[in-house]
Amino acid sequence: QLPTGLYKKVLVILHDSILPYMNEPTLMIDFLTAAYGIGGAISLLALNGLFILIHQHNLEYPDFYKKLYSLLDPSIYHVKYRARFFHLADLFLSSSHLPAYLVAAFIKRLSRLALTAPPEALLMVIPFICNLFRRHPACKVLVHRPNGPEDMSEDPYIMEEESPSASRALESSLWEIRSLQNHYHPDVAKAAAVLNQSLSEIEDDISGLLELSAYELFDKEVKKKAADVPLEFEQIRGLFGKKNDIFAEHFSLD
C-alpha cells in the first residue's frame, strides 16, 4: 500500500518512462489493476498503463468497462487529469463491436453529469457524445425516441446502478442535452443544438477541446467585438414616467 502522492507520481510517468523499458511489462499487471480499483484520480491515472497492457500485451480484464463506467462521477469534469481521461475513454469506446447497451449507458451517464458541469467541460463532452452516436448508430434511439421521458422523474435510466447492463439506458432518451440547449453560455447551447439535426458521418476532432479552460473561454468572450446596437428611447418625465399624470405635476426627477 503506497501513499496517495507516491501512487500519483508513479502512475503519471509509468506508461512512457517505465513500461517501455521493462523486459516483461506484464509484471505490472497486479500493480495497475490494484491501482485501478482504488478509485478517484489514482484510477484515472492507472488507465494509461492498463491501456498499454490491454492493447500491446493481451491483458484480459473482464470488468474493465464496468469499472470505467463507475469512474464517471461529478468530479470527472473538474479533475486535473480530465484531458487524459477523456482521451483514453475515447479510445476505449472507439470499437464498433461494443454492445449498444454499454455505449448507451456511457452516453446517459455523461449527459446526466453534464447538467452540473462547467461550460469548458460541456464544449468538450457534447462533441464526445456526438462521436459516440456516429460510431454506434443503434444508440440514436436515445435522441429520436417519440414520447420519451422529459425529466428525471420519468426517466427509466438508473443513475445509481453500477452495472451498465442493468442501468436501462436504452429505454431512456437524451432530455439532458435538450436541457443544455437553453444553457446560459451561447456556445454550449449551440453545441447542444447539433443533436436536433442529422449528424454528419465525419467525427468531430475533440483533441483541441480536451485542455479547454475557463480562462480561455473568458478571454475569448472579452476579445469579442461587440456590435453597436442603435437605441431609441423616450425621456422619462415624472415619477412613474407618464407625461400627464398628477405625479408629473408635483414630482421631478431632477
| HSE toward the beta carbon, residue 226, CA cutoff 13 A | 5
pLDDT along the chain (254 residues), means of 10: 81 84 85 81 81 80 82 85 85 85 92 91 91 89 78 84 89 89 91 86 80 82 77 67 68 66
Angstrom CA distances, 145 to 21, 53, 141, 254, stand at 51, 39, 5, 61
pTM for the structure as a whole: 0.75
Model pLDDT, residue 241:
62
Specify the pLDDT at position 126.
92
pLDDT of 180 reads: 92
Give CA–CA dist 36/162, Å, rounded: 16
What are the helix (H) ranges across 14-153?
29-36, 40-56, 64-70, 82-92, 100-114, 119-135, 141-144
